[in-house]
Amino acid sequence: MRIEEDVKLDFKDVLIRPKRSTLASRKEVDIKRAYTFKWSKRTYEGVPIIAANMDNVGTMDMARAFIKDGNGLTVALHKHYPLETLIDFFSEYGGSSVWYSIGLVQDDRDKLKAFLESAPQKEGKGIDKICIDVANGYSESFLDYIKGIRDMIPDDITLMAGNVVTGEIVEELILAGIDIVKVGIGPGSVCTTRKMTGVGYPQLSAIIECADAAHGLGGRICGDGGCTVPGDVSKAFAGGSDFVMLGGMLAGHDESEQEIVTGDDGEKYLAFYGMSSDTAMKKHKGGVAEYRASEGKTVKIPYRGPVEGTLQDILGGVRSTCTYVGARQLKELTKRTTFVRVTQQINNIFGAG
Ligand code: 5GP
């Protein structure tokens, strides 16, 4: 057994130090990024925020809202849409606003294969990016799986895969053909991995260390999980995240494709749950497999209306961060950031809101 003594940080442990700035207003800030990916050679341009591939966040309605918003945010569609529904969606909107998600199961691969033969794919309106998602990106079979997928798909499809939290495995994944490595084990709002297993890594440090490893090889990372307020999204970008994936912050909206229920208090609520919670497993797999404990929870959250207002808050927050440190473009945020370690960051005297 060994103990690592140096402190690892979460978003709540730091603030971003303001710097002298010539920017007069946040309107002057450009929070879009442009990337050309290492393996697919495709280019991406937009605000690099991704709605998580959870069945109450990574929805087609969310994708429609993002398209309407026009800032180039993308949605990792959850993997439970039937093939026909996916074909209809891509025929109408093309693939540029969404990631096609797969896990490790054979059914996911079969569905992907079928989609790659479908009409939208042949007409150039198909999948251009895929998100391969597993709870534990450290197993050797995962690396083989990734190589198998790389061989199965056209070379110009961008691949994102995870989740991991340490630099050495980021390097391995990138060398195995991954364009973007997804970073985060245990920080999620409805994740119980840390509670059930004791495994995890403070998310801001994971981002900083993994970004360093990825960028050295021309790869990219996506910080996934743990953002609770717009300031956390800014900290993730400032720490070196090329993309940031959001679950809980985008949950509870009209676009969640969930039933809205009225509570005894007369307020409206929606269910929000982790993708490996009992709720999700019952819904999609008919129960929790005996050998695996559920590592996600189910919560009831207040209904928040259309996602549009929340997006304005998040994008406005990130723009404002850039103004405080004098970053005219989001691209400059990391090098203009000095994190200050703190023992308190938010004054909650009148509640956490
Ligand atoms: P959030 O933005 O809500 O803090 O985190 C979203 C992320 O939590 C997702 O993108 C995914 O990586 C992770 N996640 C979603 N459902 C579960 C789950 O049931 N268990 C675990 N361990 N992680 C989950």
Q: Write the DSSP symbol of residue 330.
A: G
Q: What are phi and psi of 251, to 5 degrees?
A: -80, 165
Q: Is the CB of 279 under 6 A from ligand 1?
A: no
The catalytically annotated residue of 193, 279, 310, 323 is 193
Give the model confidence (pLDDT) of 185-230 as tens digits. Answer: 999 999 999 999 999 999 999 999 999 999 999 999 999 999 999 9
How many percent of the chain have pLDDT more than 70?
Answer: 98
Give the model confidence (pLDDT) of 36-48 as tens digits. Answer: 999 999 999 999 9
* pLDDT value at residue 291: 60
322 has catalytic annotation: no
pTM of the prediction?
Answer: 0.97
Smallest CA separation from ligand 1 atom 21, residue: 191
Rounded Cα–Cα distance for residues 330 and 334 (Å): 8
Q: What are phi and psi of 34, to 5 degrees?
A: -125, 125
* pLDDT value at residue 25: 87
* pLDDT value at residue 244: 99
Query: CA torsion angle for 223, 225, 230, 236 (degrees, to 10)?
Result: -30
Reading the block at residue 300, the tokens are: 């009831």
163 upstream amide cis, omega within 30 of 0: yes
* pLDDT value at residue 224: 98
Give the model confidence (pLDDT) of 31-84 as tens digits. Answer: 999 999 999 999 999 999 999 999 999 999 999 999 999 999 999 999 999 999
Rounded Cα–Cα distance for residues 83 and 132 (Å): 17
Q: Is the CB of 178 under 6 A from ligand 1?
A: no
Reading the block at residue 68, the tokens are: 């309407």
Q: Is the CB of 203 under 6 A from ligand 1?
A: no
Closest ligand 1 atom to residue 245 Cα is: 10
Q: Is the CB of 223 under 6 A from ligand 1?
A: no
Nearest CA-CA partner of 215 in 35, 33, 340, 31: 35
Give the model confidence (pLDDT) of 298-345 as tens digits. Answer: 999 999 999 999 999 999 999 999 999 999 999 999 999 999 999 999
193 has catalytic annotation: yes
Q: Tell me the CA end-to-end span of the chain in Å, nearest whole number.
A: 41
Give strand pairing partners of 220: 180
Distance (angstroms) between ligand 1 centre and the Cα of 184 equals: 9
Classify the C-alpha dihedral 104-212-18-331 as positive or negative. Answer: negative
How distant is the alpha carbon of residue 306 from its chain centre? 20
Of the residues 191, 221, 235, 314, which should be mutated to test ligand 1's pocket, given the most ligand atoms within 8 Å of the CB?
Answer: 191
